[in-house]
A and B are shown apart, each in its own frame.
Chain A
Amino acid sequence: MTTDSPISAGDARLETNGRSAHQIKPEGFKPPKATHRTQHVLPGFHASLGITLTYLSLIVLLPLVALVLRPWEAGLDGFIRTVTDERVLKALQLSFTTAFWAAVVNLFAGLIVAWVLTRYEFPGKKIIDAIVDLPFALPTAVAGVSLSSLYAPNGWVGSLFDPMGIKIAYTPIGIFIALVFIGLPFVVRSVQPVLAEFDAEVEEAALTLGATPMQTAIRVILPSLAPALITGFSLAFARAVGEYGSVIFIAGNMPYISEISPLLIVIKLEEFDYAGAASVAIAMLALSFTILLVTNFVQVLLSRRGRA
């Protein structure tokens, strides 16, 4: 009978009878030394941080610095004159308001699309899921051309509205539609994974407690989606503010009416007014940055709730 190993194990147990198990240390065992380095799970913290900072500086910060330095060629006066010019103000207003309302529409539409795609099974679901990414994948110019031909007074949709005296293409409405189009995937793709991972038991708990499906959706599911919705909203908004390709085809680009700020920058560049272009750019940058900062702040507040 080969009982050698159980016996020796048993012996150790008998000898140490009365002592707690953690006092027994095998021969030659050394606990790892606790240094601050061992606290980092990922190796090479210093190297990776260094690479991150260098990369960010080169790719993101450097162009921004160049941009910030540019407009002062014309002096502070020049900068103020440019950004208070009525045409610039109108363009900024147009860009930011249409982008905002397009993002708002996408917030709701994207939520519904994400809901349908995660909650229900139906034929063609995979195809619809793929279609969501199209605005993302399509070259913006292609989107612009197809949208403007569709909404032009002689296009499929445009011809329906034209008799009623409503013009879609070559007006701010057209810009709005283009921005809705390109913003949709951002909300859907931000919300979808969160919704898919939502704990079914939490929903069932609400059900057994007497909540209607509507109450469950509004009181239980939506609040936990809020951070993802805000992410989707700010992504869609940021993209819409900067959108150029698809908008210029459908916008008509009439100064004071349907001229977006990125286009104005291009126009100023074509006129060799580099300082003016940079001034408009800085105004856009400052506005975008402020808005993203606010949404980030709201998001932190929301996600801290119930997590801290």
Chain B
Amino acid sequence: MSLTVQNITKSFSDFAALDNVSFEAHSGEFLALLGPSGSGKTTLLRLLAGLDQPDSGSVTFEGEDYLALNARERRIGMVFQSYALFRHMTVEQNIAFGLNVRPSKDRPSKAEIKAKVQSLLKLIQLEDLGKRFPSQLSGGQRQRVALARALAISPRILLLDEPFGALDALVRKDLRRWLRRIHDETGVTTIFVTHDQEEALDLADRVVVLKDGQIEQIGKPLELYRKPASSFVFDFLGTNNQVTATVSGAEAKFDGFTAPAVVSGELTGPQVVRFRPFDAHLSKDGPGFKGKVLSILPAGANLRLELQSEDGTVFETQHAHDSDASDLALNDTVYVKPIKVYVFGN
């Protein structure tokens, strides 16, 4: 019970939108396709839905050749970024659409459709708004209706294109949690596209990171975070600081101090190394990179500092609000010492 994508390639006139992409979505899995715009993630989703055809490669679902089926026959629930609700239909009519258009021999009875719509309205917590038109709903509510409409056809796979793209931060967070719960309740294999790394890491069982139409890495959120496969994945998943060091074995040597290094592959000698803002230790008199406090950003769960070294490099570091770092003032001189660095060959 799984979706297998093998060696999919798709070009638009002269540029390759997808280049030899292969991955698998297990049954009931919540998979994220993560990448910057232009990485091919939406193209991939459209191929899965049957709205586009690949140049080569195969897509199979439980052994069935999906590419031989058209979009109508694949029974895939697709939620579009623009919601794509039917404006002239009420919420109930929107949700029932997929059932009403079935040929009469497959169509559930009127009463069954009504019951299904009611249960979906309950699921999306819009029981009282069934008679409304989409234009009378908020963005978050429309998103939920679009999801209910896709779920109504009991899809084999649920595809979501930037499901939270057009919503404000608070609604996003709420819907994210809610979507995860819906997924756990329905158990339908779900693939969603996002450019927001936080969203992907929070929500998905596994994340497929795409760059320029190729897969950079596939892994569980924590794997991605702990063992990024490339500098691209590392940089895309969060803020990064870059310095040069001499790498030997699992150690990076700096001017007067060392730090443990996570090295991908066999790399020695002078290299660009990266470290996360929270993998930085501050001290008043070294060792470390000497820097001046450029700005203090107190908002959020952590205290964030921007430090500028003498050669102009700006570091971002993160500290607990009650740590020593909270005593720092602007223009103070401190030493930054990375306590863990990552080294990538590419």
In the complex, chain A residues whose CB is within 8 Å of the CB of B176: none
In the complex, chain A residues whose CB is within 8 Å of the CB of B78: 204-205, 208
* Residue contact B97 to A306, C-beta cutoff 8 Å: no
In the complex, chain B residues whose CB is within 8 Å of the CB of A208: 49-51, 71-72, 74, 76-78, 150
Q: A7-B331, A306-B89 are in contact. Are A210 and B153 (CB under 8 A)?
A: yes
Q: Is B203 interfacial (CB 8 A cutoff)?
A: no
Task: Point out the residue from A6, A199, A201, A223 that lies within 8 Å of B88, measured CB to CB.
Answer: A223
Q: Is B119 interfacial (CB 8 A cutoff)?
A: no
CB under 8 Å from chain B, chain A span 169-223: 199, 201-202, 204-212, 215, 219-220, 223
CB under 8 Å from chain B, chain A span 6-46: 6-7, 9-11, 13-14, 17
Most buried by B among A13, A210, A211: A210
Min distance, Cβ A229 to any Cβ of chain B, angstroms: 13
In the complex, chain B residues whose CB is within 8 Å of the CB of A199: 82, 84
Q: Is B135 interfacial (CB 8 A cutoff)?
A: yes
Bound together, the chains give a CA A210 to CA B98 distance in angstroms of 6
* Residue contact B133 to A219, C-beta cutoff 8 Å: no
Closest A residue by C-beta to B134: A306
CB under 8 Å from chain A, chain B span 112-135: 133-135
Closest B residue by C-beta to A201: B84
Q: Is A307 interfacial (CB 8 A cutoff)?
A: yes
Q: Is A164 interfacial (CB 8 A cutoff)?
A: no
Chain B interface size, as a band, is 35 or more
Q: 1/0 per residue A125-149: CB within 8 Å of B? A: 0000000000000000000000000
* Residue contact A210 to B330, C-beta cutoff 8 Å: no
Q: A3-B331, A209-B153 are in contact. Are A14 and B296 (CB under 8 A)?
A: yes
* Residue contact A14 to B330, C-beta cutoff 8 Å: yes
* Residue contact B331 to A210, C-beta cutoff 8 Å: no
Min distance, Cβ B169 to any Cβ of chain A, angstroms: 16
Closest A residue by C-beta to B135: A307
In the complex, chain B residues whose CB is within 8 Å of the CB of A9: 295
In the complex, chain B residues whose CB is within 8 Å of the CB of A211: 72, 97-98, 101
Number of cross-chain contacts by CB at 8 Å? 102
CB under 8 Å from chain A, chain B span 146-173: 146, 149-150, 152-153
Q: A202-B84, A223-B88 are in contact. Are A207 and B71 (CB under 8 A)?
A: yes
Most buried by B among A9, A207, A208: A208
Min distance, Cβ A88 to any Cβ of chain B, angstroms: 42
CB under 8 Å from chain A, chain B span 309-341: 329-331
Closest B residue by C-beta to A223: B88
In the complex, chain A residues whose CB is within 8 Å of the CB of B135: 306-308
Closest A residue by C-beta to B98: A209
In the complex, chain A residues whose CB is within 8 Å of the CB of B49: 204, 208
Q: Is B232 interfacial (CB 8 A cutoff)?
A: no
Closest B residue by C-beta to A13: B296
Closest A residue by C-beta to B75: A210
Q: A7-B330, A199-B82, A199-B84 are in contact. Are A207 and B134 (CB under 8 A)?
A: no
Min distance, Cβ B93 to any Cβ of chain A, angstroms: 10
Q: A204-B51, A208-B76, A307-B133 are in contact. Are A10 and B295 (CB under 8 A)?
A: yes
Bound together, the chains give a CA A11 to CA B295 distance in angstroms of 9
Which residues of A are at the interface with B, using a C-beta cutoff of 8 A? 1, 3, 6-7, 9-11, 13-14, 17, 199, 201-202, 204-212, 215, 219-220, 223-224, 305-308
20 A-B pairs (CB sep. < 8 Å): A6-B294, A9-B295, A10-B330, A11-B330, A13-B296, A201-B80, A202-B86, A205-B146, A206-B97, A207-B51, A207-B72, A208-B77, A208-B78, A209-B98, A210-B72, A212-B72, A219-B86, A219-B97, A306-B88, A307-B135
Which residues of B are at the interface with A, using a C-beta cutoff of 8 A? 49-51, 71-72, 74-78, 80-82, 84-89, 97-98, 101-102, 133-136, 146, 149-150, 152-153, 292, 294-296, 298, 308, 329-331
Q: Which 3 pairs show the lowest CB-CB distances between chains A and B?
A: A209-B98, A205-B84, A201-B84
> Given A3-B331, A220-B86, 12 more contacts at CB 8 Å?
A10-B330, A201-B80, A202-B84, A202-B86, A204-B78, A206-B97, A208-B49, A208-B51, A208-B77, A223-B88, A305-B88, A308-B133
